[in-house]
Amino acid sequence: MPSKRILSLNLLGYLCSASALATNLAGTFSAYAAATYNLVDTYNSGNFFSSFSFYTGSDPTHGYVSYQSQSAASSQGLINTNNGQVYLGVDHTTVNPSAGRASVRISSNKAYTHGLFIADIAHMPGSICGVWPAFWLFGPNWPNSGEIDVIEGVNLAGTDQITLHTKAGCSINTAGSQSGTTLVNSNCNQDNGNTGCGVTTTTANAYGNNFNNIGGGVYAMQWESSGIYVWFFPRGSIPADITSGSPVTGNWGLPIVAFNGGSSCNIDSFFSNENIVFDTTFCGDWAGSVWGSSSCASLASSCNSYVGANPGAFAPAYWTINSVKVYQQ
């Protein structure tokens, strides 16, 4: 049986460890509690399509998709600003389009380093076999300027995955995240940046059909030298300071995920000059690669064949955006 002295030393060590952990977590929390922000840009139905550019190249993720120009997307009814909202849809009438299903990928004309990005979204592409939607930011010379994936999932997913991608040298920790958030990989350059470092989440109503069923909500992403933090608030629980235009991150409690900077990842060395992106692709490197191991496989032998033959399935694969606001210190 251990002596009382040993037990006392063990207890002292435990208390010191607990104190150190509390100090570390306090440092994590203070990173977003201390920030004061001012509104610098608002993107909404009045200026959205003049503030974003349409990407028309081939899909870097090898999806079964044909990204349309602004004029082509408009003429096909893939975009509009009806009812004071921004609509970004996909083709849901053409059977077996030879170049891939028509969709849009748009990037903000302005790039950012640091800030608080608040996206009020009423609808995102639903939990549909073959679909791969994302709301994200990335910089030039990928992955050297980093990538921040705020909303992302594939096929029938009901929860969000949040991921960072960087050049070599950034390893992340997620201390101070909500319970239910699981770090899948800490190396943000995993697979030369293609896999990156990300988390799975269990946050209710934050993705796909469940998100749409409650009228959506607000995603807030804070990016500072100390780290990158993401919150989600369902439609009926959006903080008053967000609604009033005076966000105070310290009022919001734990983020879904805290990607903490520090000695293993100097955030400012890996993330800079990033543009805001929305897109919807199909199949490709993620949705297509997991097709055979998902329940979607019962619908067709391949992701591409299903997406090609079933246009009507993708009528709900659209974004409805109320606004994206960017705040900086």
Question: pLDDT tens digits, residue range 60-90?
Answer: 999 999 999 999 999 999 999 999 999 999 9
| 321: number of Cβ within 10 Å | 23
Q: Is 147 a catalytic residue?
A: yes
Contact yes or no for 138/233 (Cβ under 8 A): no
Tell me what pLDDT residue 36 has.
Answer: 82
Average pLDDT over residues 48-71: 98
286 or 29, which is more confident?
286
The confidence score (pLDDT) of residue 128 equals 98
- Catalytic site includes residue 274: no
Let me know the angle formed at the C-alpha of 241 by 213 and 261, rounded to the nearest 5 degrees: 90
Q: What band does 22 get if pLDDT is binned at 50, 70 and 90?
A: very low
Ordered structural domains, the chain, with CATH: 38-328 (2.60.120.200)
**Spatial separation of the C-alpha atoms in residues 100 and 63, rounded to whole Å:** 8
Which one has a higher pLDDT value, 301 or 19?
301
Catalytic hit among 59, 91, 147, 274: 147
Residue 51: what residue type? S
Q: What is the 3-state secondary structure (H, E, C) of the chain?
A: CCCHHHHHHHHHHHHHHHHHHHHHHHHHHHHHHCCCCEEEEEECCCCHHHHEEECCCCCCCCCCEEECCHHHHHHCCCEECHHHCEEECCCCCCCCCCCCEEECEEEEEEEECCEEEEEEEEECCCCCCCEEEEEEEECCCCCCCCEEEEEECCCCCCCCEEEEECCCCCECECCCCCCCCEECCCECCCCCCCCCEEEECCCCCCCHHHHHHCCCEEEEEEEECCEEEEEEEEHHHCCHHHHCCCCCHHHCCCCCEEEECECCECHHHHCCCEEEEEEEEECHHHHHCCHHHCHHHHCCCCHHHHHHHCHHHHCCCCEEEEEEEEEEC
pLDDT recorded at residue 17: 38
Dihedrals phi, psi of 233, to nearest 5 degrees: -130, 120
Q: How many CB atoms lie within 10 A of CB 299?
A: 16
For 174-233, write each residue's pLDDT tens digit.
999 999 999 999 999 999 999 999 999 999 999 999 999 999 999 999 999 999 999 999
Task: From 276, 270, 239, select the one nearest 255 (Cα to Cα).
Answer: 239
Q: What pLDDT shows up at residue 29?
A: 47
The pTM (predicted TM-score) of the whole model is 0.91
Choose, from 91, 120, 152, 279, the residue flagged as catalytic. 152
Share of the chain above pLDDT 90, in %: 89
Contact 88, 321 (CB under 8 A): yes
From CA 320, how far away is CA 24, in angstroms rounded? Answer: 39
How confident is the model at residue 7, as a pLDDT? 30
pLDDT at 34: 54
pLDDT the model gives residue 30:
44
